[in-house]
Structure 1
Amino acid sequence: MSKFEMTKKHLITCSVIFVLVIISRLNIFSTNPVFTVKTAAITHADILFAKPVEEAEMDYNFANEALPVNDQRVNFKLKKSLAKHKFKNIQSNILHAKADKLFPVIEPILKFYGIPQDFKFIPLVESGLNGGTSPKGAKGIWQFMPGTARSYGLRVGKGIDDRLNTRKSTIAACKYIKELYAEFNSWTLAAAAYNNGSIKLERAINKQNEDNYFRMTLNRETGSYLYKIIAMKEVINHPGKYGYKNFYSYQQKMPELPLVAFNN
């Protein structure tokens, strides 16, 4: 073999090797790498619930029934209600003072009757900053009308008005709320019915073919009722977040009350 032929053969061999190296490198970078560490599969549920525990715990709800804050309309109404209940608009700690006075009486009664503790915020919404008697004749922290009060065992008339008795009126309210929950199978709807009456709410549900409070169109007062309760819950449980200062909550100083029987 001549020197020229040997040189030619050598060049061909080198070219083949060079091409093979390039091909092998292309294969390496074009394939998915294989890891020895086992990775968990990501599911749709993981994406839905992939948020910090602290953020999840701050989700708004009433009696553990979630508020759909991803709904633009719901989010707007909630923010509006929260803004109204900030300290800069209330300008006093009267809400926390009322909670300190009422909650130690209300909480154990709610517990005895199996009513979620979130219902304790209803008297703060119902009696508002003033309390007293409504233009329609409702009275007391649970704002009972005379006829409804009597149907749940409260005495109204002849100089006696049990609607003004925190303990007795709370027992009556619990009996009423339990009946509403049995009818609607939802604590949110039970709260709405407490405000609007079960007959009117039932009509609205049937007319709209909708039983989710937050997707329903209701009268102005009832349509904002749950938002007010949730806002009240927020400012009582997280006062500093909403500008309240110089308060001292009974929740920081009282042990949990035992479950005891309550009778009229």
Structure 2
Amino acid sequence: MIKKRVMCFTAILSIMVLSKLHSEPQGISVENPYKKMMLEHAARLKEESRSSKNNIKTYYSSLTFANESVPTEDVNVKSKLGKYLARFSFKKTRSHKMHAKADKYLPKIEKILKSYGIPEDFKYIPIVESGLDPSVHSHKGAGGYWQFMPATARLYGLRVNGKVDERKDFVKSTHAAAKYIKSLYNEFGDWTLVAAAYNVGGGSLRGSIRRQKKDDYYQLRLNNETGSYVYKIISVKEVIENPSMYGYSI
């Protein structure tokens, strides 16, 4: 009986020792090379995933609009930005035409905006507004490259009547847009709010700020179009400035 117990104990001890040997890292290469290969592969995938997440985090944290950081540490801001970056990507839009027009018009727009002291990121507004197509008209009556309403266009020096529509004149309408943007900055003192006001109108934005007691675009509750407007501008900027990152190919 005692002999059987000793044999049983010896067998259990042997199993424990073997199990210990197989669980030691230095034993894997000798005892189970396939297991070692799988563990190394899993570790490599984990490291690549960690590196990818860090790269994405770094990329988002580097995004700016009008030389101001975009608060992508806010999960709602980051999520919304990701949505529009995907929407404007080449994979989604096949944006050859957009890139071609950007190459033709944006340097000229940037030069005019600079003469008024306006950040160059505002040059992307006419892409968001009209796709740089002067023939585009909204159902509300906005028209031209910068989608001016007739009254606003006249206020900033453009002729709009039955015979002439200078909203379709690239140079004149860009100068008018620069004057309008500059006047909005004199009122709001914040370039991101200026972009929102360009879309919704200064009076409407003032009302939202007063009611909500907030003057941060990213925290304001605005209508869907205005609430997505700056995100669209940033996304167009990123897709045009980093085309290969978003799938663009010639």
Same fold (TM over 0.5): yes
The residue aligned with 2:117 is: 114
Aligned counterpart, 1:69: 72
For residues 132 and 123 of structure 2, the distance between their equivalents in structure 1, rounded to whole angstroms, comes to 15
Question: Aligned to 2:102, which of 81, 99, 103?
Answer: 99
C-alpha change, 1:69 and 1:109, in structure 2 (3 Å) is same
Q: 1:151 aligned to 2:188?
A: no
Residue of 167, 175, 181 corresponding to 2:185 = 181
Pairwise CA distance, 1:57: 9.6
Distance 1:84 1:70 in 2: 21
Q: Map 1:214-253 onto structure 2 (within 5 A).
A: 214-246=218-250
| Contact residue 180 and residue 190 of structure 1 kept, 8 A | yes
Q: Secondary structure at the match of 1:156?
A: coil
Question: Aligned equivalents of 1:57 and 1:70: distance in 2?
Answer: 9
**Shift of residue 108, structure 1, vs aligned partner:** 1.1
The 5 Å alignment of 1:1-264 reads: 55=58, 59-128=62-131, 132-246=136-250
Say whether the 8 Å CA contact 1:156–1:162 is kept in structure 2: yes
State the shift of 1:98 in Å.
1.4
Q: Which runs of 5+ in 1 are unaligned?
A: 1-50, 247-264
Aligned residues between the structures: 195
| AA of the residue aligned to 1:222 | T
Q: Deviations over 1:172-198 (max 9, x none)?
A: 001000110011100000010000000
Structure of higher CA gyration radius: 1
Cα offset, 1:159, TM superposition: 1.3
Q: Give me the whole-angstrom Cα distance separating, in 2, the residues matched to 1:94 and 1:191.
A: 24
Distance in structure 2 (CA, Å) of the matches to 1:98 and 1:118: 16
Taking only the aligned residue pairs, the percentage that are identical comes to: 55
- Which deviates the most, 57-66 or 142-151? 57-66
Higher relative contact order (CA 8 A, sep 6+): 1
CA contact (8 A) 1:94 1:129 kept: no
Deviation at 1:66, TM superposition (A): 1.2
For residues 41-100 of structure 1, give each alpha carbon's deviation from its aligned partner in whole angstroms, at most 9, with x where no partner exists. xxxxxxxxxx99xx4796111101111101011011000000101111102311111111
Aligned-partner SS, 1:213: coil
Q: CA deviation at 1:128?
A: 3.1
Label 1:137 to 1:200 Cα distance change in 2 as closer, same or farther (>3 A). Answer: same
Decide which structure has greater helix share.
2
4+ long deviations beyond 6 Å: none
Deviation readout 1:156-211 (Å, 9 max, x if unpaired): 11311110011000000010001100111000000100000000000100111100
The residue identity in structure 1 corresponding to 2:163 is G
How far apart, in 2, do the equivalents of 1:86 and 1:238 lie?
A: 10
Instruction: Give yes or no for contact 1:105–1:166 (8 Å, CA) kept in 2.
Output: no
Q: Partners of 2:98 and 2:59 in 1: how far apart?
A: 26
CA distance in structure 1 between the aligned counterparts of 2:97 and 2:61, rounded to whole angstroms: 24
Report if aligned partners of 2:196, 2:229 keep a CA contact under 8 Å in 1. Answer: yes
TM-score by structure 2 length?
0.74
